[in-house]
Structure formats: C-alpha cells, structure tokens
C-alpha cells in the first residue's frame, strides 16, 4: 500500500512538473508572437511562433508539446495579448490567420511524434521533425485561409484554395524552414538543459 501511494504521489508530481514545463513553452510561444510583421500582399503575419511550436514538440514530445500549444491558445482566448501583434480573444480565431493558431497544436504534436519515432538523436532528425510539424500547421492554417478568402470573394472553399497557397504558404516556406533549422540548433545546443524534461516525454 505504501509503495502504491508513493508511486501515485510521484506520478502526480511528474504530471504537475510537466504542466509547468508545457506552460513555459506556451509563454515562449507568446514571446515569439511579439516579433511579427506583415508582407504587403498577404494577411498572414510573419512571426517566430513556428520556432516556439517546433521547440515545444522537440523538447516535450508529441502529447505535451500539443498541450503546451493548447495552453497558449487558452491564454489568448482568455484575453491575454499573446497572439501576433498583441491580439487576443475569439476574434483572432476567425480572422485570416486563425487556422494557423489551431495548426500550432497539430504542428507541435506531429513534430514531437516524428522526433520520437526517429529516436531524436541527430540535428537532421530534429529538422525533419520540425518540417513535418510545419506541414501540419500549413494544412490547417491554409485550409481556414482558403475558406476565409473564398467566403470573402463569394467563391467558397475551392475558390480560395489558390489564393491560400499563394498567400498563406508560398511566402513562408523558406523562412519557416530556417526557423526549423534554428529550433533544431537551439535544441541540440541546449540539450543538457533539457535532461530533466526528457525522461518524462511519454507521460
């Protein structure tokens, strides 16, 4: 009985610690969102959020990386100015870049999942994992942008697909790949600092 209670206590302690770690990356994503600017021809801003998303997946793994981004979205939904340009609230989710916010959850999950499957031992594995995470962000983000643009032009989802590709993906591919490189470099360079987190990746 004592052994079981001790195990339960340790499990609760580990989960509590993981929530704290996840919240740290939620805050990191908020900080990354403060660095934002718009290209003149696209409604989707360029930010450092993608780098924060990738790092959360690499460090925390699939499940907790996604949870960290859910925490981030919850902060914004509650009114904290954590989204690009200091925005917040439900309105941010129905704007042209709202799909990318939801895509951060999938992106962190896919990045962590692929990194786990690749055993997470090399910088190349981290970069590939980040690239897969970015694809996940694009799928949801560009899909919502296509619907948003198609509705605005009365052309429907199919009518907005080309515009979403041209304005929501093409301008960002190169810079987002650089963010994946930067995130993988940071992760590998600071790996010793993440030793405390890594044993809890699968909780």
In this prediction, residue 17 has a pLDDT band, given cuts at 50, 70 and 90, of: confident
Distance CA 175, CA 74 (A): 27
- What are 67's two structure tokens? 């949870």
Three-state SS at 33: helix
pLDDT for the residue 160:
81
Distance of alpha carbon 42 from alpha carbon 167, whole angstroms: 5
CA–CA separation, 161 and 142 (whole Å): 8
Give residue 109's pLDDT: 97
Checking if the pLDDT of 27 tops 90, the result is yes
pLDDT of residue 173: 94
Alpha helices in 34-97 (DSSP H): 49-77, 91-94
Q: Domain limits at 85? A: 2-200
Q: How many CA atoms lie within 13 A of 180 on its CB side?
A: 25
Rg (CA), the chain: 18
What percentage of residues in the chain have a pLDDT greater than 70?
Answer: 83
- d(CA 193, CA 31) in angstroms, rounded, equals 20
The domain tally of the chain equals 1
pLDDT at 199: 45
Can you read off the two tokens belonging to residue 76? 């914004």
199, burial (CB in 10 Å: exposed 0-12, middle 13-18, buried 19+): exposed
Which pTM was predicted? 0.87
What CA–CA distances, in Å, run from 160 to 106, 119, 140? 22, 39, 14
Question: How distant is the alpha carbon of residue 45 from its chain centre?
Answer: 15
In 29-124, where do the E strands start and end? 36-37, 46-47
Q: How far apart are the first and last CA of the chain?
A: 23
CATH number at residue 93: 1.10.1760.20
């Amino acid at each position: 009985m004592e052994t079981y209670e001790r195990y339960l206590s340790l499990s609760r302690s580990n989960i509590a610690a993981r929530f704290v770690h996840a919240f740290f990356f939620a805050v990191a994503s908020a900080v990354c969102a403060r660095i934002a600017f718009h290209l003149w021809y696209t409604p989707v801003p360029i930010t450092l959020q993608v780098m924060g998303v990738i790092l959360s997946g690499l460090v925390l793994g699939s499940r907790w990386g996604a949870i960290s981004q859910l925490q981030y979205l919850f902060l914004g939904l509650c009114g904290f100015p954590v989204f690009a340009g200091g925005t917040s609230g439900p309105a941010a989710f129905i704007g042209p870049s709202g799909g990318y916010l939801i895509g951060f959850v999938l992106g962190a999950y896919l990045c962590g999942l692929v990194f786990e499957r690749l055993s997470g031992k090399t910088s190349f594995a981290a970069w590939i994992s980040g690239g897969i995470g970015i694809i996940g962000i694009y799928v949801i983000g560009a899909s919502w942008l296509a619907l948003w643009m198609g509705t605005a032009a009365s052309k429907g989802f199919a009518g907005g697909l080309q515009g979403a590709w041209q304005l929501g993906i093409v301008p960002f591919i190169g810079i987002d790949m650089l963010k994946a490189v930067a995130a993988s470099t940071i992760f590998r360079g600071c790996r010793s600092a993440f030793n405390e987190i890594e044993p809890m990746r699968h909780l």
